[in-house]
Amino acid sequence: MHEKRIDGKGLGCRRQLIQRNATAPVLRFKAWMIPGAAGMLAALAAWLMARPTARQLALRMAEKRHWESEVRRLRHCERLTTEALHHCTGVLRLIASALPVGVVAIDRNARIELWNHAAEAILGYTAEEMIGQPAPTQVFMSAIDGDGDGDDAGAADVFLRMVTGQSVKSEEVTCRRKDGEAVEASFSGAPLVDDDDRVQGAICVFEDISHRRSMARALHQAQKMEAVGQLTGGIAHDFNNILGIAIGNLDLLGEELRDTPSARTATLVDGALTALLRGAELTRSLLAFARRQPLRPMMVDVGDLLSSITRVLARVLGEQVQMELSLEPDLWPVVADPAQLEAAMTNLAINARDAMPAGGRLAISAINASFDDDALSRLPDVAPGDYTCIEINDTGTGMSAEVLAHVFEPFFTTKEAGHGTGLGLSMVYGFARQSGGHIQIYSEPGIGTSVKLYLPRATGKAERPQTRQRRRAKGGGETILAVDDNAEVRSMVAAQLSNLGYQVLEAGGAAEALAALERHPAIDLLFTDVVMPHGMDGFALAERARQRRPGLKVLFTSGFPGTTLSNRCELTGTDNFIGKPFRRDDLAQAIRRAIDQERGRK
């Protein structure tokens, strides 16, 4: 609708537009002209008025309430989402804090955003020191000296690869703690990306594998020593058979020369025997390293033994070496072979003397010690319990780490040619392990060396080694069955036994020996080698023989008894064993002792 009005006071008009849609607003326009403005429009006013209807107003109010409700709902959802986000963030931080591995998160600029408690424990830096800071190069490095050794990747390189979009898994690297100590760690991680696959940072987990690596190195060393021990033990067994034949025949030759004395011949025989006995001593050292030597363990008062041997060593080592002995009060006795313990102490003392050519101080001490779970975690193959620790310290030249890695290997020596066999420490190592103990060695070049020998504690009162009284060595016509798979050894033994006054039967194996027992009921003693082929060793033969002949006397011998002797010594007794090679007089004493001992048990 359109209306006009013109009066004397001015020109005015009103225009009203009404659309058919009832919900549309009504538009009113009003304007007028004021004369006296020289024909110009003096004023113009306009307003826009919307005057809704009741229905329109109701619709608007409903729409307003709807949007207000929607806003309240959205704000509530936002609050719930924020609370859930805070809760999830808190849970994740608690999880990260509780994890036993280090967790580190960095942004795209390699600044640290997360540093959990395990990371603090492993590397020594607190979260306050690290969060917000760039990943420090003094922590994430390729080696402790910073120049790398070519074996380990740098942790800084690991982070760089992650922030460039790469994932890493079980990368073994070396880091430096806050206190400067090297830490071997295993790193795994992945980049953090947004919806557009743009890298926004990275998260990494790492664990301290220093202990694992140390255990792996110790296990590798133990396996290597075990393999070398088996090899050297096998060599010693074969070598002992050869030495036994030569020594036994020379003993027989010496007996024959008594009837036709010849100074030159006797000298030659003695020289040959001396050389062979030196070879036998070497094989005993090899067997000691291989933990195959027969031991006579008993309760030993360590204080008494060390006091006694220190007086002897003082004369052996000379005046240039100042000896000191320190013993803890109420020192525990140990279970060990006293003769082998004295030999081990002598070897260690001589090594210390040789490391101090200009003289020095040798301190021997003994204390009570116990291995707990923490200590055992660093010492493979050591049983928990109480030990007596004998420590030998010298002020000698010391050894480098490279030398220390090989000191227990047989024939390894840093001495000049002709000044050592390289079997001293090998023998001590084998003696300690065979005795159920442990040995540790520490050394610094230019400072000295410390050796700790741990032997298991004994319960009860320590025994003093007793000197055996010589028994009547000659035989009284008893019958002995000699069993050995080596024909040359068997022949030599038979000749020696016949020379001692015994009747001798020979067998080349277990089956042949059992058959001989059936044929000859008057056999007084079974003298058998321990290690024999065809599935039946000397101990099994003795059991089968005693089943058929209860009360049969038995004497064992071997150049390589192995672990079988250790497992069965409680049944047979170490008095019923003689190691190869043996002298004629030693054989005579062992045979007589076995026969008389068995008779005493009846």
* Alpha carbon distance 173, 166 (integer Å): 17
The percentage of the chain sitting over the pLDDT mark of 90, rounded to a whole number, equals: 8
Residue type, 201: G
Domain chopping of the chain, boundaries = 2-51, 99-208, 222-289, 298-456, 479-601
* Alpha carbon distance 289, 422 (integer Å): 11
> Of 285 and 455, which is predicted with more confidence?
455
The architecture of the domain spanning 298-456 is 2-Layer Sandwich (3.30)
What string of H, E and C letters represents the secondary structure of 273-339?
A: HHHHHHHHHHHHHHHHHCCCCCCCCEEECHHHHHHHHHHHHHHHHCCCEEEEEEECCCCCCEEECHH
* Alpha carbon distance 100, 433 (integer Å): 35
Taking only Cα atoms into account, the Rg of the chain, rounded to an integer number of angstroms, comes to 47
pLDDT per residue as tens digits for the range 159-182: 777 777 788 888 888 888 888 888
Residue type, 394: D
- Strand arrangement, sheet containing 27-33: 2-7, 10-17, 27-33
Is the CB of residue 528 less than 8 Å from the CB of residue 512?
no
* Alpha carbon distance 385, 128 (integer Å): 43
Global pTM value: 0.48
Span 115-128, average pLDDT: 87
Beta carbons within 8 Å of 567's beta carbon, 6+ residues apart? none
pLDDT per residue as tens digits for the range 463-494: 554 544 444 467 778 899 999 988 888 888 88
**Lowest-pLDDT range of 204-218, 336-350, 400-414:** 400-414
Cβ burial of 292 (10 Å; 0-12, 13-18, 19+) is: buried
Span 279-298, average pLDDT: 64
Three-state secondary structure call for residue 403 = helix
333 prior amide bond cis, ω within 30: no
Q: How many CB atoms lie under 10 A from the CB of residue 5?
A: 10
Both tokens assigned to 223 = 């396996």
Most confident listed range (19-23, 198-202, 410-414): 198-202
Position 506 scores a pLDDT of 92
Is the CB of residue 435 less than 8 Å from the CB of residue 295?
yes
Both tokens assigned to 389 = 């620790």
Residue 185's nearest CA partner among 177, 199, 174, 198 is: 174
Examine the pLDDT at 26 and tell me if it is beyond 80.
Answer: no
Q: Which phi and psi (to 5°) does residue 11 adopt?
A: -105, 125
Examine the pLDDT at 74 and tell me if it is beyond 70.
Answer: yes
Question: What is the fold, at CATH topology level, of the domain defined by 479-601?
Answer: Rossmann fold (3.40.50)
Which CATH number describes the domain made up of 99-208?
3.30.450.20
Q: Which long-range contacts (CB under 8 A, 24 or more apart) does 499-503 make?
A: 499/252, 499/255, 499/584, 500/473, 500/474, 500/475, 500/584, 500/587, 500/588, 500/591, 501/474, 501/475, 501/476, 501/477, 502/475, 502/477, 502/478, 502/591, 503/477, 503/478, 503/479
Three-state secondary structure call for residue 525 = strand
